[in-house]
A and B are shown apart, each in its own frame.
Chain A
Amino acid sequence: MSTAAEKLGAASISALDVEKVRRDFPILEQKVHGHPLVYLDNAATSQKPQIVIDAISRYYEQENSNIHRGVHFLSERATEEYEGARKWVQEFIHAPQLQEVIFVRGTTEAINLVAQSYGRVHVGAGDEILITAMEHHSNIVPWQLLCQEKGATLRVVPINDQGELLLDDYEKLLGPRTKLVAAAHISNALGTVNPVRWMIEAAHSRNIPVLVDGAQAVPHSIVDVQALDCDFYAFSGHKMYGPTGIGILYGKSALLESMPPYQGGGDMIASVSFEKTVYNRLPYKFEAGTPDIAGGIGLGAAIEYLNSVGMDKIAAHEHELLSYASDAISAIPGVRVVGTAKEKAGVLSFLMDGIHPHDIGTILDQEGIAIRTGHHCAQPVMTRFGIPATARASFGLYNTKAEVDALVRGIDKVREVFA
């Protein structure tokens, strides 16, 4: 006789019902240039399920008011919804405390917050910040700004031809002057999944804190900030089926407590006089001004949605899709996959002999297929591989093998045009 838990386990390993999932995303029903939309640009931004769109509409139709200050009915309701979303996020990333979940505009703002608040206090002349060669510009430039201001040095962990970090070099670069490691969980340009758990352990053994850029990881896999033991974890709502304009910085409370505010304004204070201002407690100390309330509520709804589908199912579905697509695409003559790490998720960057990615993008678009072409805000990655750009297909929970087949046909069409 099976127990309830076993039944639940059995259900969770059953495959994701992708046709059912697709019906939750109204945008996927449309045609583009006369063809059914094949949306393979999820690493740039994902589409939104009806439940997220409804949550945002409901907020503006029935709950709109400012939070944390009103005594009236609507303000209480909006506050409850917004703070409820914070709770969803906390559980989703397994943060120990609710106050460690800070609402920001997105991954970029989360990283800038740490650079400007933590970095300004803890980084000085001659110190080093360690990043990797596969970072998105948003995990490069904030550190360059800090280093310029402080006279510190930015160090970069190199990668191999497969797009994997050189871990021996990483360990050697962790030095006595290293004040922080900032690394992507999953590379947006190459799809490499970095061994962040191991990297964090190596850094912590030298008392160096670690920020993880989780923008590409959160939509594709179960993230547990306690298991990772990361000090900061940054991600965006819009890449995980939530709205744009909202994101999360998770930080260990001891670190957050020690950091000065990032921005000043309303909501981040306990009391203000012209002589002295007392800052609010966490997480509000870092949330100056009226936030994107609808965005926060929408993000909460996106997490509810992901939970209802099941992150384990999503990860398995996407893994299968990526391996199917990798095999199919690399079998096409004249096509080369860029980023062939052993551990990959979500992203398939490729090149075609003699054909620029931009031309690939335009021709695929005429077939209704949306991919990204360019440097993917990761110019140093392009430089590392000696290429100006790549074509990138990136997958989400609603993508199908039939869509991969359409991509393969589209690539054949590209070859035809350039034959």
Chain B
Amino acid sequence: MSDLRDLYQDVILEHSKAPRNFHEMPAANRKAEGFNPLCGDRFTVYIDVENDSIRDISFQGSGCAISKASASMMTQTLKGKSTAEAEKLFGTFHKLVTGQAPANDTADLGKLAVFSGVSEFPMRVKCATLAWHTLHAALEGKQEAISTE
């Protein structure tokens, strides 16, 4: 039996209740909207990119605890990283939540490793990755809202 506490770790609950960088960013030069039609989660990710570096990042929207905490911690992690590093972290994070990451491969993720419990709850992988998919779309300059379906 998978333990709920593996999924709802304290740090995740804390971020879901008090998300960081949770605001609009009028100065953003990249922006994308992500939508999970299955549960109605909807986020906008704002990025201010200069010289392939993420100078600032924020998000807004509504979603479940997992998607909100994931978005919050993603913004914390990515501030100051290069866009290439961000894309690489997305790949590692995706492997983590789908249970495909070897233990030594997730060191880069730092605090984001608390999401490893998601792999026991396959229905929630989309929640954990919504913000990341939206980030990816924003970095690629996609105009249309992206969907997890």
Which residues of A pack against B, CB within 8 Å?
33-34, 354-359, 362-363, 366, 373-375, 379, 382, 388-389, 417-418
Contact = CB atoms under 8 A, between A and B. Distances in A.
A366 to B, nearest CB: 5
A362 B40 contact: no
Query: Which of the listed residues B1, B4, B37 has the most CB atoms from chain A within 10 Å of its own CB?
Result: B4
Interface in B17-51: 17, 37-42
Interface stretch (B82-90, B91-99, B121-129, B136-144): B121-129
B38 to A, nearest CB: 6
B5 to A, nearest CB: 8
Contacts of B13: 417-418
Nearest to A416: B4
A388 B41 contact: yes
A355 B8 CA distance: 12
A33 B8 CA distance: 17
Interface residues of B, number: 23
Listed residue (B7, B13, B62, B65) with the most chain A CB atoms within 10 angstroms of its CB: B65
A380 to B, nearest CB: 13
Contacts of B66: 358-359
B123 A357 contact: no
Given A355-B65, A359-B66, A417-B4, A374 B124 contact: no
A374 B17 contact: no
A374 B39 contact: yes
A379 to B, nearest CB: 8
A417 B42 CA distance: 23
B60 to A, nearest CB: 14
26 contacts: A33-B2, A34-B1, A354-B17, A355-B65, A356-B63, A356-B64, A356-B65, A356-B68, A358-B66, A358-B124, A359-B64, A359-B65, A359-B66, A362-B4, A362-B7, A362-B121, A366-B2, A373-B39, A375-B37, A382-B40, A388-B39, A388-B42, A389-B39, A417-B13, A418-B8, A418-B13
Contacts of A357: 39, 64
B115 to A, nearest CB: 14
Given A355-B65, A357-B64, A358-B124, 4 more contacts: A358-B41, A388-B39, A417-B4, A418-B8
B41 A366 contact: no
Contacts of A359: 8, 64-66
Nearest to B8: A417
Contacts of B2: 33, 366
**What are the 9 closest A-B residue pairs judged by CB atoms, nearest first?**
A388-B40, A356-B64, A358-B64, A389-B40, A358-B39, A359-B65, A359-B64, A374-B39, A375-B40
Most chain-A Cβ atoms within 10 A of its Cβ — which of B7, B8, B40, B124? B40
Interface of B: 1-2, 4, 7-8, 13, 17, 37-42, 62-66, 68, 121, 123-124, 127
Contacts of B124: 358, 362
Contacts of A33: 1-2
> Most B CB atoms within 10 A — which of A34, A362, A366?
A362
A418 B39 contact: no
A379 B38 CA distance: 11
Contacts of B123: 362
Contacts of B38: 374
Contacts of B8: 359, 363, 417-418
A363 B64 CA distance: 12
Contacts of B40: 374-375, 379, 382, 388-389
Contacts of A362: 4, 7, 121, 123-124
Contacts of A389: 39-40
A418 B37 CA distance: 24
A175 B38 CA distance: 36
B119 to A, nearest CB: 14
A373 B39 CA distance: 7
Contacts of B68: 356
A363 B4 contact: yes
A358 B123 CA distance: 10
Contacts of B41: 358, 388
A72 to B, nearest CB: 46
A139 to B, nearest CB: 18
Nearest to A375: B40
A366 B4 contact: yes
A354 B7 CA distance: 18
A354 B121 CA distance: 21
Nearest to B61: A388
A168 B7 CA distance: 49
A358 B42 contact: no
Contacts of B62: 356, 388
Most buried by B among A33, A358, A379: A358
Nearest to A389: B40
A33 B66 CA distance: 21
A389 B39 CA distance: 7
A77 B2 CA distance: 49
